[in-house]
Amino acid sequence: MELIEVSGCCYYFSGAVNIGYIHKEGQGLLIDSGIDKGTAKKVLKILNEHQLPVDYVILTHAHTDHYGGASYLQKELQVELHAQRLEAAIMEHPILEPIYLWNGAVPIKQLRNKFLEGEPVIIDGFLFEGQQELGPFHFEALHLPGHSYSQIGVLIDGILYAADSYFGTKVLAKHKVPFIVDADATINSLEKLKSLTLQGAIPGHGDYETAFEETIQANIECHNNIKLFLLNSIKASTDGISMEALMKRMFDHFGLRAREIGQWLLYRTSFTAYISSLIEAGTVSISINEYTLWLKGESV
């Protein structure tokens, strides 16, 4: 983990999950906290070495790799935690993620792990889209849903801390099917990013870029290509296809591997998000055929 300066007051910790940091008027604002106590301790160690404080923490969304270390920070430093209201509800009740991944039923023990269920926190203040103020920090909170239900990005002094609204191209190439909960919202958020004039942007996973238009376009094309593959596969099945059979085709086509149940469920959520988009667009219909969810192409 390395602390990198991108402007006079804006920094980020480069790692598997990027963590933002802003320093103004002797105070520090952290954007996200890493996956667990160990990551948070590393962040504090580096900040202490540079004699940099932490007074506020913004949590962009309720995925454990972004908020899992916040409980330690809250207990260790008594810092204020701020998040969007819906995302905050999940952070305060982290079992909600295993619950929704397990179709709403009480989750099995294999899903009760630090990758899917972080330590609970108490959110001190809610963030809303638009201009915000925390101490000396004046910033714009951007509503960027799609990867999660109500994810926010933070725009301050021309630098966008974009959370997981987009991914670096190397990350896209590695994962092939990114995690999303809403395909249409994901693409709309990406289009929103294209309209911004920025000094630079930092994704939750990937490299800082001063010109990120090509990366944003690569993300849009990734999602559109997945939707098109699924739509064509459904239309190629004259009598329709089951959700299970289509998901297997997706795994085979993109060379996906799920080593454990949690990872498979994350892929299933993304798959369902794309299917939901096709259904709502009227290009695919869904029904029940012999106790199985059944998809069929429709003429528009």
The 3-class secondary structure across the chain, one letter per residue, is CEEEECCCCEEEEECCCCEEEEEECCEEEEECCCCCHHHHHHHHHHHHHCCCCCCEEEECCCCHHHHCCHHHHHHHHCCEEEECHHHHHHHHCCCHHHHHHCCCCCCCHHHCCCCCCCCCCCCCEECCCEEEEECCEEEEEEECCCCCCCCEEEEECCEEEEECCCCCHHHHHHHCCCCCCCHHHHHHHHHHHHCCCCCEEEECCCCCECCCHHHHHHHHHHHHHHHHHHHHHHHHCCCCEEHHHHHHHHHHHHCCCCCCHHHHHHHHHHHHHHHHHHHHCCCEEEEEECCEEEEEECCC
pLDDT digits (tens, 9 = 90+) for 143-182: 999 999 999 999 999 999 999 999 999 999 999 999 999 9
Range of the domain at 248: 230-297
Q: Is residue 285 part of a domain?
A: yes
240-284 pLDDT tens trace: 999 999 999 999 999 999 989 999 999 999 999 999 999 999 999
**Domain at 121, CATH number:** 3.60.15.10
Residue 78: per-residue pLDDT: 84
Q: Is residue 31 part of a domain?
A: yes
pLDDT given at position 300 = 67
CATH number (domain holding residue 291): 1.10.10
Do 147 and 22 sit in the same domain of this protein? yes
Residues 140, 249 share a domain: no
| Residues of the chain scoring pLDDT < 70 | 300
Domain identity same for 148 and 63: yes
pTM of the full structure: 0.95
